Amino acid sequence: MIRNIIFLTTGILLLALMSCQSIHKAQKQMDKYNYAGAITTLKKVADKEKTHNAAISMLAECYRLQHDNLNAKAAYAQAVSMPDAKPESFYYYALALQSTGDYAKAKEMFQKYAGMNPSDPRGKLYASHCDSVLGPWKGLTPKYELKLANGINTTQSDFGPAFYEGDLVFASDFTTSTSEGKAYGWTGRGYLNIMKSRPEVASDFWGNMSSPASEFGGKFNQPYHDGPAAFSTDGNTIYFTRSFFGKAKREGIYKTNLLKIYYSTKKDGEWGEILPFFLNSKEYSVGHPTLSADGQILYFVSDMPGGQGKTDIWMCKREGDAWGPAANLGKTVNTSEREMFPTMRNDGELYFSSEGHPGYGSLDIFKTKNESETWTTPQNLHSPANKSYDDFAIAFAPGEKNGFLSSNRPEGMGSDDIYAFRIAEPAPVLPAYITGLVKDKSTMQPIAGATVFLFDPSTGNVKVLKTDSDGMYKALVDKPADYIVKAMMPNYIADCIPISIPEIKPGTTNPAPRDLLLDKLIITKTFQIENIYYNFDKSDIREDAKAELDKLVRILNENPVNVELGSHTDSRGPAIYNEKLSQNRAEAAVKYIISSGIDKSRITAKGYGEQQLTNQHSFTCQRF
């Protein structure tokens, strides 16, 4: 029994020692940016030692640095459940959740990280980004139509589109003749090459691309990373990103495969010598070049000293035959995180990808413009151009109505894929109308040529229409409102009605609630005024009567007539009394109308008492 216990103890110690050696080996691989190898090593340890905190945390970091969001999320979910979980694990778990579209859970983790590390503003900031996606961004109208590009994507990484002489040029790490048999330790896949493909129908970049793609040119593809590329407007100069095998080491820190920019100029149809960009360095990276339309400004990405964050967008201006000093685009464009893959459009808009500006998660594509030496606030292109995964490296085809962008969203074919996009045409807005008829009140015949006013009290806007030969009017309406429609015709009394449109339903016709009826003005014709009431034995004009008298004021303002305003009573009381009361009431009404601006010579008062039994006013048209 003692011997068995000794063997058992020795076995446990050996397993622990082997696990520690594996952890140490994986750390060395990570130090050299060989994440693919480190993952292989760590998975063996994690499978055997499910609670091995170091292995789980390191595995999560490897997946994160490979931009493998789904595996990173699963690994960080384990990491944050450990008793000694560090605040950084919660932060990166939140990023992984955000990058896979789980915004509610991501917000919770960002807030938790903010509580654990209140000095870092990113927790609260990125929690607010999640709120934007969950709230106001949901109802935005898509500005782009997107689809996976046909004929060029592989099971590996394809990204970084550019256009050259009718071809689509891009970078791919799919195994080719120059990279066969070699693997890039960071990703575990091949090295990048510059590739090209042509549309099956010339210039139709929205359609199918020729398959398979071919290498752009032997001299531009060396055994390690080449691409993506950018071209001058005339197609005679190429700038591209390149890295070499081997690792620069400074102060004990590996700086593996630093990016550098190279360029070449075409002469007599042949590409000349490939030359290094003057800012290439052994201390920092420069890459992802793009040119302004006139070729006088080169934009690129670098982690050189003096930037705002992890990688920034910089620029150089042409000074004669050389480039001037590098200038950072500043805090409006660059953040504390990564800004990458700039593309300068011919109209002067700069497109780039960022992790730091408000977005959907991971890299999002933004646009900005230099106005009066100041960059405008970057605008997110929104869905579907941006999703929760990495979206980057956009390029516009000739004509700038469509193009390609890159993304590692999971519905693609490989790690990174190229998506075709085109600017979405706005759906045609079918008009909505108000319609109705204008008729003669006496004959009920339609009145052609009547003027109809559509008034919107909320804005004060008025539309003026004419009725057709059938007496019909038709008015276009573009917003919900309580409208007033009024019809007028010479020698007629105008009529108006309210029409309420609570919502606009495109393509619908809203009929008026009734016809507009115009009463013809005839000399000596008597018109009754409705709803004029007085208190018993009184002649004072009540408030409810003023609205009806105001209608008569409008009639006099709109028509060149004089009128006699008559007042009538019922048969109660002595005849002489009723005649006097009706005269007083008629005079009170006339006085009110004169006070509204009507010349007193145009209206007279007449009290009829009981002669024409009624309890109302009337008016009779006279010659003007």
Pair 540, 450 in one domain: no
**DSSP element (H, E) containing 35:** helix 35-48
595 and 534 inside one domain: yes
Taking phi over 0 as left and psi of -120 to 50 as alpha, with beta for the rest, 295 belongs to left
State the Cα–Cα distance between residues 228 and 244, nearest whole angstrom.
15
Distance CA(34)–CA(426), nearest Å, equals 48
CA dist 152 and 170 (Å) reads 9
> What is the average per-residue pLDDT within 313-318?
97
Confidence of residue 196 (pLDDT cuts 50, 70, 90): very high
Say how far apart CA 537 and CA 545 lie, in whole Å: 16
**454 lies in the same domain as 514:** yes
Among candidate residues 262, 290, 405, the one with its CA nearest the CA of residue 348? 290
Whether 495 and 532 map to the same domain: the answer is: no
Residue with tokens 């000399």: 523
pLDDT of amino acid 536: 65
Our count of domains for the chain comes to 4
Last residue of a domain, one of 518, 541, 558: 518
DSSP for residue 136: G
Q: Are 419 and 406 in contact (CB under 8 A)?
A: yes
* Cα 299 to the center of its chain, rounded Å: 25
Tokens for 512, please give them. 């008026």
Task: Retrieve residue 58's tokens.
Answer: 């390191």
> What pLDDT, on the 0 to 100 scale, is given for residue 246?
53
Task: Tell me: pLDDT of 179 over 70.
Answer: no
What is the rounded average pLDDT for all residues in the chain?
85
pLDDT at 481 over 50: yes
Query: Would you state the structure tokens that stand for residue 336, as one six-digit string?
Result: 């504390």
The model carries a pTM of 0.67
* Domain end marker among 381, 403, 423: 423
Displacement of CA 323 from its chain's centroid (Å): 36
Give residue for tokens 């007083």.
584
Residue 9 — very low, low, confident or very high, per pLDDT cuts 50/70/90? very low
Continuous H helices in 49-163: 53-65, 69-79, 87-99, 103-116, 122-134
| DSSP β-bridge partners for residue 316 | 298
Strand 286-291 and strand 312-319: the pairing is unpaired
Nearest to 95 by CA among 277, 424, 360, 357: 360
* Distance of alpha carbon 558 from alpha carbon 39, whole angstroms: 89
> Do 117 and 30 have their domain in common?
yes
Same domain? 275 vs 231 = yes
CB neighbour list of residue 432: distance below 8 Å, 6 or more residues apart: 476, 477, 478, 501, 504, 505, 506, 507, 508, 509, 510
What is the rounded distance in angstroms from the CA atom of residue 74 to the CA atom of residue 78?
Answer: 7
Residue numbers of the domain that contains 220: 144-423
Q: Residue 8: which CATH number?
A: 1.25.40.10
Predicted confidence (pLDDT) at residue 258 exceeds the cutoff of 60 = yes
Q: What percent of the chain has pLDDT over 70?
A: 83
pLDDT per residue over 11-21, tens digit each? Answer: 333 344 445 77
Bridge-partner residues for 404, per DSSP? 395, 420
546 and 506 inside one domain: no
Per the model's pLDDT, the better-predicted residue between 356 and 549 turns out to be 356
CATH number at residue 200: 2.120.10.30
Residues 400 and 252 in one domain: yes
Residues 118 and 252 in one domain: no
> Same domain for 198 and 287?
yes
H or E element in which residue 300 lies: strand 297-302
Averaged pLDDT, 341-359: 96
In CATH, what number is assigned to the domain containing residue 613? 3.30.1330.60
Q: How far is CA 360 from CA 95, 98, 246, 541, in A?
A: 10, 7, 35, 67
pLDDT tier, 77 (very low <50, low <70, confident <90, very high otherwise): very high
242 and 265 fall within a common domain: yes
Main-chain dihedrals φ then ψ at residue 556, nearest 5 degrees: -70, -35
Q: Are residues 371 and 506 in the same domain?
A: no
Separation CA 129–CA 126 (nearest Å): 5
Number of neighbouring beta carbons within 10 Å of residue 541: 18
* pLDDT tens per residue, range 272-298: 999 999 999 989 999 999 999 999 999
25-39, 476-490, 565-579: segment of lowest average pLDDT:
565-579
Q: What tokens appear for 619 in the block?
A: 């008016």
Residue 421, sorted as left (phi over 0), alpha (psi -120 to 50) or beta, turns out to be beta
Give the domain-ending residue among 483, 518, 553: 518
Angle between helices 122-134 and 103-116 (to 10 degrees): 160
Q: State the pLDDT confidence band at 525, using cuts at 50, 70 and 90.
A: low
Question: What is residue 602's predicted lDDT score, i.e. its pLDDT?
Answer: 83
Residue 470, token pair as written in the block:
């059938």
Helix/strand/coil percentages in the chain, nearest 5: 25, 35, 40
